[in-house]
Structure 1
Amino acid sequence: MNISAQMVKELRDKTGAGMMDCKKVLEASQGDFDQAMEMLRQKGLASATKKSQRVAAEGIIESYIHTGAKIGVLLELNCETDFVARRREFQNLSRDIAMQIVASPNVEYISAEDIPEELITEEKRIEAGKEDLQNKPDNVRDKIVTGRVEKRLKELSLLDQSFIKQPDITIEELIKKHIALLGENIQLRRFEKFIVGGGIEKRSSNFADEVAEILDHKA
């Protein structure tokens, strides 16, 4: 099949991959775009895995304030060189990750590996004690508990979240896609979410009680 320059450009626009890589996978897939995109994705993930051990000490601090100014995020995204840190693709990635954190209320950790062992133990204890599991055989109960705990840990892990702009990939895959695109290791070092009133114990009051209290003082 003759692969036209327009086909190559279209695939590049959709994936951000290099022109030669796009042409090769289109030729290998006989012009099948879906297959070509999957091949590029697999190639990108493999390439990213090789680069993941390289030192990433450059990068940027990203700040994002959500509409309404009630919630904001600060994060540090690292790469290997200042040149890549200045690339538009890298800066867009950092903003997308910040927006993802805002959109993921349960996320507290970068990855499941960062979750403290005591929290995992507590989650297992809670799940094992639920009423719907009490009459099940031990092996069945253990399997269900494991599945539920793994689901909970993924809810807490940023890298396991489905990307809000492209739900068929995770944040981890999004980062790896950019590693393949930019040719450098990229690491999300840390993040902090700020919510207005967060950590403050809010006073709940009853209007009738307040009125009665005011009248008592006047009396």
Structure 2
Amino acid sequence: MAIKAQDVKKLREATGVGMMDCKKALVEADGDFDKAIEILRTKGQKVAAQRADRDASEGAIVTATTADGSVAVIAEVNSETDFVARNDQFVAFAQSIADALLAARPADLDAAKAEVQIDGQPLGDALTQMTGKIGEKIDVRRFEIVEAAEGGSVVDYIHPGAKLGVVVEMTGTGDLSEAGRDVAMQAAAMNPIAATRDDVPQDVQDKEREIGREQARAEGKPEAILDKIAEGKLGRYFKDNVLVEQPFVKDSSQTVEQMLKGHGATLKRFVRFALGG
């Protein structure tokens, strides 16, 4: 049967699939619009299966926060190429995933793909459909939900290019939004390993102490003072790698902790996602 151009256009607008693929689907479906959509969806599933083993290492970091600033989500949505990652359709789709994750707050990635709804369908199906539309593997690698304690606030930051993002949880009586953004930008730039020294894993501390001892021993320092030297080196490690102890990038005359005190704010934790990290 003859397929009208306006029907092809209507199907393209409804699915986002290219004109030729839409026309072929309508021909195969004998002009049945709903059947054509199902044919395109099946095609998308086949494309997804064919590309399941492809490396989707490009993409974007996306965030979303509730209106009251009490909960945020940060997610990594992947594509195979940077070209697709900069595509408006992919960017909008990635943001819709962040918004849906924030609304549903699933327990883990498996639950998210089965339960989170994107335009009325499970996230897993939406990823399959988008893979079919775009023609390369689209996936969600990870996400994390950050919920502020009572009286606290969450602040999100996406570095230009969307390859890096941070969410921080703040408490205090001052301007948590301004202080939180400064801390998030610091975390993005300096890649600290922990918010405070208490958050540094014990095995990391033990390793740094041992490195300090061995360095001092190699320099011929007396055994009696090796532990003291090692503690000093650990303290310097904290200043370099613990967020609140780092020099504040906007004003290196003070630490991040000193900046926060000036704002009446305290950092509780941060989550930093770098693409592929």
- Secondary structure of the 2:109 match is coil
- Secondary structure of the 2:75 match is strand
Residue 29 (structure 1) shift? 1.3
Task: Identify the residue that residue 52 of structure 1 maps to in structure 2.
Answer: 52
Match of 1:165 among 105, 119, 124: 119
For residues 27 and 185 of structure 1, the distance between their equivalents in structure 2, rounded to whole angstroms, comes to 27
Residue 162 (structure 1) shift? 4.8
Cα pair 1:72 1:194 within 8 Å, conserved: yes
Task: Identify the residue that residue 12 of structure 1 maps to in structure 2.
Answer: 12
Residue 164 (structure 1) shift? 4.6
Task: Identify the residue that residue 250 of structure 2 maps to in structure 1.
Answer: none
With the length of structure 2 as denominator, give the TM-score of the two structures: 0.52
Task: Identify the residue that residue 71 of structure 1 maps to in structure 2.
Answer: 71
Letter in 2 for 1:79: S
Superposed CA deviations along residues 123-178 of structure 1, whole A, max 9, x for unmatched, are: xxxxxxxxxxxxxxxxxxxxxxxxxxxxxxxxxx1000252532xx2101101111
Cα pair 1:45 1:177 within 8 Å, conserved: yes
Task: Identify the residue that residue 86 of structure 2 maps to in structure 1.
Answer: 86
Cα pair 2:65 2:73 within 8 Å, conserved: yes
- Name the CA shift for 1:165/1:39 in 2 (closer, same or farther; >3 Å): same
For residues 190 and 162 of structure 1, the distance between their equivalents in structure 2, rounded to whole angstroms, comes to 14
Residue 187 (structure 1) shift? 2.1
For residues 38 and 132 of structure 2, the distance between their equivalents in structure 1, rounded to whole angstroms, comes to 14
For residues 49 and 16 of structure 1, the distance between their equivalents in structure 2, rounded to whole angstroms, comes to 20
Determine what percentage of the aligned residue pairs are the same residue.
Answer: 37
Superposed CA deviations along residues 4-46 of structure 1, whole A, max 9, x for unmatched, are: 1110000000011111111011111111101111111111111
Task: Identify the residue that residue 159 of structure 2 maps to in structure 1.
Answer: none
Cα pair 2:118 2:126 within 8 Å, conserved: no
For residues 87 and 194 of structure 1, the distance between their equivalents in structure 2, rounded to whole angstroms, comes to 28
Moved over 3 A (4+): none
Task: Identify the residue that residue 110 of structure 1 maps to in structure 2.
Answer: 109
Task: Identify the residue that residue 37 of structure 1 maps to in structure 2.
Answer: 37
Cα pair 2:115 2:123 within 8 Å, conserved: yes
Aligned residues: 151
For residues 52 and 79 of structure 2, the distance between their equivalents in structure 1, rounded to whole angstroms, comes to 10
Letter in 2 for 1:2: A
2:193 matches 1:194: no
Structure (1 or 2) with the greater helix fraction = 1
How does 1:110-189 map onto structure 2 within 5 Å? 110-111=109-110, 157-166=111-120, 169-189=121-141
Show structure 2 runs of 5+ residues with no match. 153-277
- Secondary structure of the 1:9 match is helix
Structure (1 or 2) with the greater strand fraction = 2
Letter in 2 for 1:174: A
Cα pair 1:52 1:186 within 8 Å, conserved: no
For residues 67 and 182 of structure 1, the distance between their equivalents in structure 2, rounded to whole angstroms, comes to 32
- Secondary structure of the 1:184 match is coil
With the length of structure 1 as denominator, give the TM-score of the two structures: 0.65
For residues 52 and 195 of structure 1, the distance between their equivalents in structure 2, rounded to whole angstroms, comes to 33
For residues 119 and 67 of structure 2, the distance between their equivalents in structure 1, rounded to whole angstroms, comes to 17
Letter in 1 for 2:124: E
For residues 64 and 102 of structure 2, the distance between their equivalents in structure 1, rounded to whole angstroms, comes to 9
What RMSD in Å do the two structures reach over aligned CA positions?
1.6
Task: Identify the residue that residue 119 of structure 1 maps to in structure 2.
Answer: none
